[in-house]
């Protein structure tokens, strides 16, 4: 397969390169840059010291004929403009940004404060959450790779929402992320001196992932009302922990809930449901495509706590995109992704 990575100089792009460069089905990888075409990638990233690939300028007409898969690891507002020019007979497009995830253009404009992609493109895009959307992904032309927080939250909530075991009007998602989630360009908020030994809540009730989470929860159960979703920045490089709270609609035991999660995810190799009483931490999934989760019930309050951890750059972005590539190209889903997490 011939692969193109747009936004190759960013964190998501460089992580895609790392994964794809050892993927057994890949014949070539072309790296595209809108700002540094002509430069060698090893001049930008010293950890790629021995890689001799020159960054290429974007040429959509050529790319859509020559490449089998094009990854767009670009900021919001780019793929909405670029994707229409890349859709052709050959190339499959996998977009890591939020541009193609929301079915409603009005919702995109409201939350992203940008012009939405053309409706025809948005309607073609399949939401790339493989554990829940595998068959649609397999026949997609365009894949909207989920956001990092929605991946952690939706994987954690999916079984309970689908089984109608959670009160759909009272869902709370409390999430924490590492700093690489903000991409490679530092800001006053992500600056080392401000971030280290600090804990910050941000985008309170305004996070652009709120409509994405609600959209999928509502597809699963149309009774779901707006959720409370909070995000916090933690002084670590990678990782997301999403802790979800809700109220049970039925009197079910912790064992029954655990069995429900095992039944949903038993055949999904990247979801690891913990034994009762054991809880995952972000290091358990560091640099891997795993999502580890656990569920607990407080018998005094009948409230349930679900905790779900991912690596934001991996299952939250690049490795999930490779999982989607495998599915859409008819390759075994786990190819190139089964390495164990990096520890410590
Ligand atoms: N970081 C994360 O954990 C996650 C990120 N995402 C999403 O994935 C996308 C990439 O994120 P990330 O890699 O972190 O971001 P970065 O900011 O690290 O990199 C984005 C890259 O996009 C390229 N770019 C910028 N402007 C343009 C443009 N106008 N046209 C084409 N390319 C452009 C730049 O490369 P160049 O100048 O070389 O073209 C830049 O290196 C974003 O939409 C992000 O929201 C999703 C899930 C998780
Ligand atoms: C730490 C940090 O800032 N994280 C980003 C992650 C979102 C992201 O990656 O953007 P899209 O999924 O919308 O493309 C944020 O919370 O906005």
The complex's ipTM? 0.98
For 129-172, the pLDDT digits (tens) are 999 999 999 999 999 999 999 999 999 999 999 999 999 999 99
Q: Which of the residues 29, 148, 224, 307 is marked catalytic?
A: 148
With cut-offs at 50, 70 and 90, classify the pLDDT of residue 189: very high
Q: Which residue has 């905790």 as its token pair? A: 307
For every residue of 297-317, DSSP letters joined together read: EETTTTEEEEEEEE-TTTTTT
Q: Is the CB of 143 under 6 A from ligand 2?
A: no
In this structure, CATH architecture of domain 149-310: 2-Layer Sandwich (3.30)
Buried b (16+ CB within 10 A) or exposed e, 203-238: eeeebbbbbbbbbbbeebeeebeebebbbebbebeb
For 271-330, the pLDDT digits (tens) are 999 999 999 999 999 999 999 999 999 989 989 999 999 999 999 999 999 999 999 999
Q: Is the CB of 213 under 6 A from ligand 2?
A: no
In this structure, CATH architecture of domain 2-145+317-328: 3-Layer(aba) Sandwich (3.40)
Mutate to test the pocket of ligand 1, among 11, 30, 97, 183 (most ligand atoms within 8 A of CB): 183
The CA 267 to ligand 1 mean position distance, Å, reads 32
Q: Is the CB of 233 under 6 A from ligand 2?
A: yes
Ligand with minimal distance to 208 CA: 2
Angle between helices 148-162 and 130-138 (to 10 degrees): 100
Q: Do residues 173 and 203 touch, judged by C-beta distance below 8 A?
A: no
For the purposes of burial, counting CB atoms within 10 Å of the CB of 91, is it exposed (0-12), middle (13-18) or buried (19 or more)? buried
Check residue 216 and give its pLDDT. Answer: 98
Ligand with minimal distance to 203 CA: 2
Check residue 299 and give its pLDDT. Answer: 87
* Radius of gyration of the CA atoms of the chain, in A: 20
Question: Quick check: pTM over 0.90?
Answer: yes
Q: Is the CB of 177 under 6 A from ligand 2?
A: yes
**Region(s) of the chain under CATH 3.40.50.720:** 2-145+317-328
**Region(s) of the chain under CATH 3.30.360.10:** 149-310
The Cα-based distances of 77 to 81, 113, 118, 142, 219 in angstroms read 7, 9, 12, 16, 25
For 27-83, the pLDDT digits (tens) are 999 999 999 999 999 999 999 999 999 999 999 999 999 999 999 999 999 999 999
Rounded Cα gap, residues 44 and 58, in angstroms? 18
Q: How many residues does the chain have?
A: 344
Check residue 257 and give its pLDDT. Answer: 95
For the purposes of burial, counting CB atoms within 10 Å of the CB of 90, is it exposed (0-12), middle (13-18) or buried (19 or more)? middle
């Amino acid at each position: 397969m011939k692969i193109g990575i747009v936004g190759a100089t960013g964190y998501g792009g460089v992580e895609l390169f790392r994964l794809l460069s050892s993927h057994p089905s890949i014949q070539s990888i072309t790296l595209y840059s809108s700002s540094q075409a002509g430069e060698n990638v090893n001049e930008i990233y010293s950890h790629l010291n021995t890689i001799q690939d020159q960054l290429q300028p974007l040429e959509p007409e050529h790319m859509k004929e020559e490449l089998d898969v094009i990854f767009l690891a670009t900021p919001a507002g780019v793929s909405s403009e670029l994707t229409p020019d890349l859709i052709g007979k050959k190339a499959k497009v996998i977009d890591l940004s939020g541009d193609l995830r929301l079915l409603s253009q009005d919702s995109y404009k409201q939350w992203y404060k940008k012009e939405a992609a053309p409706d025809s493109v948005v309607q073609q895009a399949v939401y790339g959450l493989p554990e829940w959307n595998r068959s649609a992904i397999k026949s997609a032309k365009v894949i909207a790779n989920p956001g990092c927080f929605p991946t952690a939250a939706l994987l954690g909530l999916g079984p309970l929402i689908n089984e109608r075991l959670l009160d759909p009007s009272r869902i709370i998602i409390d999430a924490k992320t590492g700093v690489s989630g903000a991409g490679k360009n530092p800001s006053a908020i992500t600056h080392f001196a401000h971030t280290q030994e600090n804990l910050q809540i941000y985008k309170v009730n305004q996070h652009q992932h709120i409509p994405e989470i609600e959209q999928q929860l509502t597809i699963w159960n149309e009774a779901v009302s707006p959720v409370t979703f909070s995000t916090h920045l933690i002084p670590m490089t990678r990782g997301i922990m999403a802790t979800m709270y809700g109220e049970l609609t039925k009197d079910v035991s912790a064992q029954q809930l655990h069995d429900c999660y095992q039944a949903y995810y038993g055949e999904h190799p990247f979801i690891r449901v913990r034994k009762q009483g054991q809880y995952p931490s972000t290091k358990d999934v560091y640099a891997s495509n795993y999502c580890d989760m656990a569920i607990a019930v407080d018998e005094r309050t009948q409230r349930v706590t679900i905790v779900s951890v991912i690596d934001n750059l991996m299952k939250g972005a690049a490795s999930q995109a490779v999982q989607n590539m495998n599915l859409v190209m008819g390759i075994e889903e786990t190819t190139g992704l089964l390495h164990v997490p990096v520890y410590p």
